[in-house]
Chains A and B, each alone.
Chain A
Amino acid sequence: MSVIIPYIDEPHPVTGVTNAKLGIWLFLASEVMLFGALFSTLIIMRTSAVDWPAHGSDVLNVPLATLNTVFLITSSVTIVLSWAALKMKDLKKFKLNMGLTILLSFGFLVIKYIEYTSKFHHGHFPSTSTFYAVYFTLTGLHGLHVVGGIITNLYLLGPGSKMWEKEPERFTGRIECAGLYWHFVDLVWIFLFPALYLL
């Protein structure tokens, strides 16, 4: 097989980016539109709902969500540090930071699980009110993105990291892309958090 696909590890001379980087940004652009539509929905539901809690904090657990925010922000830092470690050719430091990222994202999911189960316990389901419908759907979709990120990062930490030996540039590029996706997940949460919990 002699199919050669150029620019997978070095940037294209004209565009200045690799294929994967352009690809991940295109994917994120479409994600922006997905969450744009969901935020649109949130605004409409909020303005026309029959009853909407005056403050999200009346019904949702703000301290837990704040902790979750800190988790995600920290994981965003660790993943960008893991990329910087590869840039400094330090695989150990990369593994440490990537491992931390995954731990923190698991922490996020655990807290989300606690939040969800306590809501179910009190008999609050998506069908309870428009507020809960929006809350569960939006955080649920965001949670799915977190799960997707964890799977990717686990792969890159484990079997995927073998690529480092043969194609370090390409592997660093992969980590950058995984990082970009993860920052985006963080970014969505940064908006979801005040929109649902605080306002």
Chain B
Amino acid sequence: MSHGEMTVEEVKKHVKKYYVVFGALLCLTVITVGISYLHLPIFQAVLLGMAVASLKGGLVAAYFMHLIDEKKIIYSMLWLTVVLFAFCMLIPLFTLHGYK
């Protein structure tokens, strides 16, 4: 049982984790802004920028939203969403493909 009956000790452990993640997020924010001042070519810039953003988003989802230790039903629902989200993100490809 992840959050139902947590002891005070366990909660304190969690709190420590939150601070670590907080530090990591701040560092990554500095990094992502820093990268933008390098004025990389667009392809590398997008790749790097989105990689850092995904890392940050992953940290938030995993630790703050507790997705690292969640119930099966939530995972299965989110997998479905991820697949459909992927299709949604293919729309640009479909849209622009027609012109070629």
Q: Chain A residues in contact with chain B, CB under 8 A?
A: 10-11, 15-17, 21-22, 25-26, 29, 32-33, 36-37, 39-40, 43-44, 47-48, 55-57, 62, 66, 69-70, 73-74, 76-77, 80-81, 84, 87-88, 176, 179-180, 183-184, 186-187, 190-191, 193-195, 197-199
With A39-B89, A44-B95 as given contacts, are A190 and B53 in contact (CB-CB < 8 Å)? yes
Q: Are A73 and B71 in contact (CB under 8 A)?
A: no
With A17-B74, A33-B81, A44-B96 as given contacts, are A190 and B22 in contact (CB-CB < 8 Å)? no
Chain B nearest Cβ from A50, distance in angstroms: 15
With A11-B4, A176-B3 as given contacts, are A17 and B71 in contact (CB-CB < 8 Å)? yes
Q: Are B29 and A66 in contact (CB under 8 A)?
A: yes
Q: Are A84 and B11 in contact (CB under 8 A)?
A: yes
Interfacial chain B residues near A180, Cβ < 8 Å? 65
Per-position 1/0 for B30-63, Cβ under 8 A of A: 0011011101001001100110110011001100
Number of A-B pairs, beta carbon distance below 8 Å = 131
Q: Are B15 and A26 in contact (CB under 8 A)?
A: no
Q: Are B77 and A26 in contact (CB under 8 A)?
A: yes
Per-position 1/0 for B1-21, Cβ under 8 A of A: 101101010011011001101
Residue among B37, B81, B84 with the highest chain A CB neighbour number at 10 A: B81
With A36-B88, A183-B60, A199-B49 as given contacts, are A77 and B22 in contact (CB-CB < 8 Å)? yes
Q: How far is the CA of A70 from the CA of B28 in the complex (A)?
A: 11
Bin chain B's interface residue count.
35 or more
Closest 3 CB pairs of A and B: A198-B36, A36-B88, A16-B71
Q: How far is the CA of A17 from the CA of B77 in the complex (A)?
A: 13
Interfacial chain A residues near B36, Cβ < 8 Å? 55-57, 62, 194, 197-199
Known: A11-B4, A87-B11, A199-B45. 10 other contacts (CB 8 A): A16-B71, A32-B81, A44-B96, A55-B36, A77-B19, A88-B8, A183-B64, A186-B64, A194-B49, A195-B50
Chain B nearest Cβ from A103, distance in angstroms: 17
Q: Please name the residue on chain A nearest to B46 by beta carbon.
A: A199
Q: How far is the CA of A195 from the CA of B80 in the complex (A)?
A: 25
Q: Which of A33, A40, A43, A194 contacts B32, CB < 8 Å?
A: A194
Q: How far is the CA of A111 from the CA of B96 in the complex (A)?
A: 36
